[in-house]
Amino acid sequence: MHRCSAIVVTYNSAATIGACLEALAREPCDIVVVDNASQDGTVQRVEDFVAWHELRLVANASNLGFAAAVNQGARETDADVLLILNPDAVAEPGAINALMQCLQATQAGAAGGALLRDDGQPARGFAFRRLPTVTALIFEAILLNQLWSSNPVNRRYRCLDADYSRLQEIEQPAGACLAITREAWHSAGGMDESFCPVWFEDVDFCKRLLNLSTKIVYCPAARFRHSGAHSVGQLSFRNKQVFWYANMLRYARKHFTAEQVRSLRAGIFAGMLVRSFAAVLGARQGGLGETLGAYWAALREVR
Burial of 50 (0-12, 13-18, 19+ CB in 10 A): middle
In sequence order, the 6+-apart residues with CB closer than 8 A to the CB of 163 are none
* pLDDT (0 to 100) of residue 286: 53
Burial of 15 (0-12, 13-18, 19+ CB in 10 A): middle
Classify domain 4-127+164-231 at the CATH class level. alpha beta
Whole-angstrom CA distances from 282 to 115, 240, 291, 293 are 35, 19, 10, 15
* pLDDT (0 to 100) of residue 248: 96
* pLDDT (0 to 100) of residue 124: 95
* pLDDT (0 to 100) of residue 237: 83
pLDDT digits (tens, 9 = 90+) for 261-288: 999 999 999 988 888 777 767 644 556 6
Whole-angstrom CA distances from 43 to 9, 112, 196, 219 are 11, 27, 22, 31
Domain ranges of the chain: 4-127+164-231, 132-160+235-303
Tell me the CB-side half-sphere exposure of residue 248, using CA atoms within 13 A.
Answer: 29
> Residues in the chain with pLDDT < 70?
1, 229-230, 280, 282-288, 296, 299
* pLDDT (0 to 100) of residue 298: 74
